[in-house]
Structures are given as structure tokens and as C-alpha cells.
Amino acid sequence: MIRGFAVLALVGCAAHAPPPAAPRATGQLAFVDVAVVSPIDARVTPHQTVVIDGERVVAVGRVAPPAGATVVRASGQFLVPGFADMHVHLPDSEAEIERVLDLSLACGVTTIRGMQGMPIHLTARDRLRAEHRVAPELVLAGPPITTAITPDQARALVRDQKQAGYDLIKVIGGIELPAYQALVEAAAAAHIPVVGHVPKTVGIDAALAAHQKSIEHLQGYRDAAAAPAPALAELATRTRDAGVWNCPTLDFYTVALGSDRTTLAQREGIAAFASDDELAAWNKALADAPPPPDGDARIAQLAAIARELDARGAPLLVGSDTPDTFQLPGFGYVEELRAMARAGLSPAAVLRAATSSADAFFGRPHDGTIAPGARADLVVLDRDPLASVENLAHPAGVVVRGHYLPRAELARIRDAHKVR
């Protein structure tokens, strides 16, 4: 895998048999007396009944649950749309992919955008769909573009990745502007979005003009952030007007650039779920790449970029960039939620980025909301997510396309991967 800070594979994973395939959700499920949270307008509507039939929400309001429905009494709890982890590097083995899926699901993630495609990922995605597995949905970028190619090669790459079954084209670097423009034009004709980095040979202005669907790691924005404030505000406004999403991966920068590394090993999940081999590899990676002298200042600058994008209405996504150094699947997603809050985004803004912004990115009608017609991917919370991002950290239950997993089942799924 090509990573910005360290190249690490998951090693030493606990042996784990995948859960059995589940039948398509066909029964009715009703959450009674639950507070429904709308990420789009940060509104909480208490004492609602939410009825699910199969894979869709069919009713929301002060209504009686249908006869024969499975009833979940949710007084005092909150219901939000399922979370999307929009930047994941899926591993290259089935067992390790299962680990990513399970740990992510236990933290409320119902959609994963894989950002470094391999044929094994296509096989896993297709198997999950065919078996109606209770697992996060996989949306996959193809193998990324990392070297110079010609415009004809760019067009052929789009054709080949589309035919292979990938959902997105990812750019990292090396590509010159004429080939990039040919790539974007061919991808638009093939209805497959272009996502990824902003190569220096392309630049942020050309990426916005091309309407690149999403930009990862806030690449291309640092020069504007270092200039007088109006430059960043203008760039953020142009980003919004271009319809370009940003996936900041702020926690990745916290680990890579932050001067205080003493607490990384105390992060939630590390003691129980990180193997000895992983810990050794992570510690070596940190030793080999000490934090730069201006690391904390760069983190603050990236936080300012994220705040300005949000303030100007340029949509943000939540991406963990896991698995990477001291970033476990699922747990790393929660760390990214916290990093966005530390950057100054409100709990409402973080929740929107985690849910409705991702569904808007995918063009899913009705999704990212809890309303009739929306897909039944939901997270049950014990406390108000608009009061604190921390209230998103430990789901009381998760619904995946109509299948309800209560707290005990989430713990069972997660704990199957404990190594100590």
C-alpha cells in the first residue's frame, strides 16, 4: 500500500471465522419512543416511532408499531443515520478484510469507501452483496494512479477499471495535466467519479475546474492557508461552488506530525486489539519518522482549512485512513471524529460529515436522513450526538440494511478480534 506516513500491513490478526450469511431483511422492525436526529438541519425530534420494513425506513412519527413487528423500546435514546468511513485501505487477505469490516461495524460504520483497490476487494464486495451479509457496504476505488501516463492510457485505464467493477478512479500523483484532463473526461462519460490526491503537476485550481469528486488529506489547500485569510475563504467558496468534497483525515496528521506521541499506545482499542507485531511495526515507523519541528503548527493549519471549508459550505467527509500507525479499523474512525471536533467543527458539523454528506456524495436519494424511503442503515446512541462528538463513540445498537444488532451483538462481533 502507498501511504503518506507509513507502509503497514495488518499482521498477527486473531483467527476469526466470518459470521454466517444472513437472509435479506424482510420482517418489520420498530424503534419506539426514540429521539430522531436529522444531521442535515441539526434537529432532534423526540418520542418518535421509526418503522423499518426490509431494507428501508417506511414510517416515522408518533404512530403505533405494526402488528407483528419486532419492537425495540428506545426511550431516552437517539437514532442517527449510519456512519460512512470514506477513506480506508482495505488489506489484501480475506481474514484481514473481515477484521476491518467487523471492527468498523461495531463502531457504527455501515459504509466503507476503499481507497486502494485490488481484485480481492471486488471479490469481497460481490460476496457480501450476494450473501446479504450483515456488514458495511463496500464502495471501491481502483488501483491508484501513481505515475505518469499518456491521455490515451488514461482513457484506457478508466475503461479497464470500469469493466473490472470498481466504483471510483483514484489519483495519487505523477500524472500530468493533459492526461488528468483526459482521465476526468473519460470518467465523466463512463459515470465513474474521480477521487484522490491533488498531484502537484495538476494543482488545486485544475482539480476544482475538473470537478474532481473528492480531495483527500486537504491536499492543495496549504498554500492558501498560509496566505492572508481572504485567500483561503475564496478557495473554500470555490470548492463549494465546484461541488467538490474534502476528506481531511485529520487524525492521520495528528499521528504523523504531532509532537506528543506519548499517549498513542493508550488510545482506545490498542491494548486489546493491536497485536505485538503491529505494535512493534508502529513503534518502528514512529522512530524512523520523528515529528517535524513545525508539526503542531501544520496540524493547526490543517484544522483551520477544515473549519473554513465547513464555514463556507464546502462539504466534508469523515475518513480514518485506517489501518495505519496506531489507527485501528473502527477505533480509528472514532479518533477521526474526535480530531474533527478538536479542529473546531461543531458536533452537528461532524455528524453531518459522517452521515448525510457521505450519502450526498454517493447520490443516494433519501439516505443520510431518517425518513420514509431511506435505507435502513442506522445507529442507536445513548446520548445526544449534537451535545458532544464523544456521544457518537459507543453505539448502543446498529441497523445494517434492516438487520438490528444490539449492544451485546456488537460486543460479540468486536471481541472476536481481541488479541489480549
CA distances from 385 to 79, 112, 248 (A): 9, 21, 21
pTM of the model: 0.94
Is 57 part of a structural domain of the chain? no
Three-state DSSP state, 183: helix
Radius of gyration, alpha carbons of the chain? 21
**Rounded Cα distance, 4 and 49, in Å:** 45
Give yes or no for a contact between 309 and 246, defined as CB atoms under 8 angstroms apart.
Answer: yes
In a domain, 43, yes or no: no
Q: Are 85 and 320 in contact (CB under 8 A)?
A: yes
Domain that holds residue 132: 83-368
Determine, yes or no, domain membership for 47.
Answer: no
| Sheet containing 245-247: order of strands | 169-171, 194-196, 214-216, 245-247
Does residue 249 fall inside a structural domain?
Answer: yes
- How far is residue 244's CA from residue 236's CA, in Å, rounded to a whole number? 10
Q: Is residue 202 part of a domain?
A: yes
Q: What confidence tens digit (pLDDT) does each residue in 232-272 have?
A: 999 999 999 999 999 999 999 999 999 999 999 999 999 99
SS3 185: helix
Count CB atoms within 10 A of the CB of residue 288: 8
Contacts of 61 (CB under 8 A, 6+ apart): 48, 49
- Report the distance separating Cα 306 and Cα 15, nearest Å: 39
Tell me which H or E stretch contains 80.
strand 78-81
Query: Which tens digit of pLDDT belongs to each residue from 142-174?
Result: 999 999 999 999 999 999 999 999 999 999 999
User: Which DSSP string do the residues of 192-205 spell out, in sequence order?
Assistant: --EEE---TTT-HH
* CATH number for the domain that contains residue 267: 3.20.20.140
Q: pLDDT per position in the chain (420 positions), as tens?
A: 335 443 333 333 333 444 444 545 668 999 999 999 999 999 999 999 999 999 999 999 999 999 999 999 999 999 999 999 999 999 999 999 999 999 999 999 999 999 999 999 999 999 999 999 999 999 999 999 999 999 999 999 999 999 999 999 999 999 999 999 999 999 999 999 999 999 999 999 999 999 999 999 999 999 888 888 899 999 999 999 999 999 999 999 999 999 999 999 999 999 999 999 999 999 999 999 999 999 999 999 999 999 999 999 999 999 999 999 999 999 999 999 999 999 999 999 999 999 999 999 999 877 889 999 999 999 999 999 999 999 999 999 999 999 999 999 999 999 999 999
Residue 23 domain flag: no
How many structural domains does the chain have?
1
**In the block, residue with C-alpha cell 461495524:** 105
